[in-house]
Amino acid sequence: MKPILITLFITLLHIGCIAQPIGADCNPKLNDAEALLCNKLFSHTGFDFKGKTIMYVTNIGEDKTYSAQYLPATKKDFFRYSQQTTDTLLKYHLVVLNAIQKNETPDIDAVVFFMTPNFNKDFKGSWVDKSIKHFKGIKLNFPDNIDLAGNDTTENITIEDAKFLNSIFRFERYSFDFTNKKIAIVVKHNDSYAMLYKHDYMQYLKTHLKTHFSIPTDWLYVLNSINRASTGYDAVIVEYAKHVDFENVLQLITTFKPTISSK
């Protein structure tokens, strides 16, 4: 399918019954409009993209030229290049993960390859397997409500903030739920600590997620009843550092309020 036809189809989606953004973020889980477009593009495969989580591989370099390497790309990259209104053809290929691959990357359903027109390899062999292994062990924590969270300037955790943070820390929080919780956010500068405003921390995370499909999570400390009583907080988020002096963090959040407005 020519990119110009993809662009026309996307336009029809926007003015039709599906009013959802296409390729507007890096969330690897497709929304309904994105899934419908992929179903159209890969109709010959019989694979249903609805509700699926997809990763991407390309040979398009940052300078938009052919690269000999096959590197992970984002959903935003895929739809951006697929919407180019030129007469050149990108080459597409879909790999639905088998049971072994799925066991290694349980959060991913399939991998889409999109290559430059001069790409002349068959989509089979060890290079395909190696490309898929780029995603081995990746744990996805992209929140579905990125545009709704972190938009206020209070230190209270809103319902949308809680959903956002529950997703970001999905592998670290166990049964802890951010809903209605009081959260301290701390950043380490050299050997000292300072408190960070919630709004600025959330904006930092959101800015990162505009160009990445996952985010390395910071330290999350769920406080016990004694520390909750002494600090007034239910948990502490500490910007990632190799070593965290938890006693210093406790002393800080007991004594001070947020003082840093950006990371």
- Name the band, by pLDDT with cuts 50, 70 and 90, for residue 87: very low
- The answer to whether residue 147 is domain-embedded is no
Token representation of residue 40: 């159209």
Q: What percent of the chain has pLDDT over 70?
A: 86
Shared-domain flag, residues 166 and 81: no
Q: Which residue has the higher pLDDT, 42 or 260?
A: 42
Quick: pLDDT tens for 214-260.
877 789 999 999 999 999 999 999 987 778 899 999 999 998 766 55
User: Hey, how many other C-beta atoms are within 10 angstroms of the C-beta on 184?
Assistant: 26
Token representation of residue 67: 């690269």
Q: Which of 135, 170, 194 is the last residue of a domain?
A: 135
Shared-domain flag, residues 69 and 36: yes
Q: Which residue has the higher pLDDT, 241 or 49?
A: 49
pLDDT over 70 (residue 102): yes
Token representation of residue 15: 């003015």
Tell me the sheet residues that pair with 221: 236
Range of the domain at 230: 159-255
- The answer to whether residue 140 is domain-embedded is no
pLDDT over 80 (residue 74): yes
The total of structural domains in the chain comes to 2
What are the CA-CA distances from residue 157 to residues 148, 160, 205 (Å)? 12, 8, 15
Shared-domain flag, residues 18 and 103: yes
Shared-domain flag, residues 14 and 130: yes
Shared-domain flag, residues 108 and 167: no
Q: Which residue has the higher pLDDT, 141 or 7?
A: 141
> Is the CB of residue 109 less than 8 Å from the CB of residue 96?
yes
Nearest to 156 by CA among 211, 199, 94: 199
> Is the CB of residue 238 less than 8 Å from the CB of residue 221?
yes
Shared-domain flag, residues 210 and 168: yes
Token representation of residue 61: 């370099």
Shared-domain flag, residues 66 and 29: yes
Phi, psi at 143, each rounded to 5° = -75, 145
Distance separating alpha carbons of residues 232 and 227, to the nearest angstrom:
8
Quick: pLDDT tens for 9-27.
545 444 444 568 899 889 9
User: Hey, how many other C-beta atoms are within 10 angstroms of the C-beta on 255?
Assistant: 9
Shared-domain flag, residues 129 and 170: no
Report DSSP state, residue 260: B
Rounded-to-10 torsion of CA 62, 63, 67, 72: 10
> Is the CB of residue 56 less than 8 Å from the CB of residue 72?
yes
The angle, 0 to 180 degrees and rounded to 10, between the axes of the packed helices 3-15 and 32-41 is: 150
Shared-domain flag, residues 101 and 170: no
Tell me the sheet residues that pair with 95: 111
Torsion sign over Cα 114, 117, 119, 121: positive
Q: Which residue has the higher pLDDT, 93 or 62?
A: 93
- The answer to whether residue 234 is domain-embedded is yes
- The answer to whether residue 149 is domain-embedded is no
- The answer to whether residue 169 is domain-embedded is yes
Quick: pLDDT tens for 160-189.
999 999 999 988 888 999 999 999 999 988
Torsion sign over Cα 59, 27, 50, 169: positive
pLDDT over 80 (residue 150): yes
Mean pLDDT of 75-81: 91
Shared-domain flag, residues 165 and 221: yes
The pTM for the full model equals 0.77
Distance separating alpha carbons of residues 81 and 117, to the nearest angstrom:
12
pLDDT over 50 (residue 46): yes
Shared-domain flag, residues 204 and 118: no
Shared-domain flag, residues 31 and 96: yes
- The answer to whether residue 245 is domain-embedded is yes
- The answer to whether residue 261 is domain-embedded is no
- The answer to whether residue 174 is domain-embedded is yes
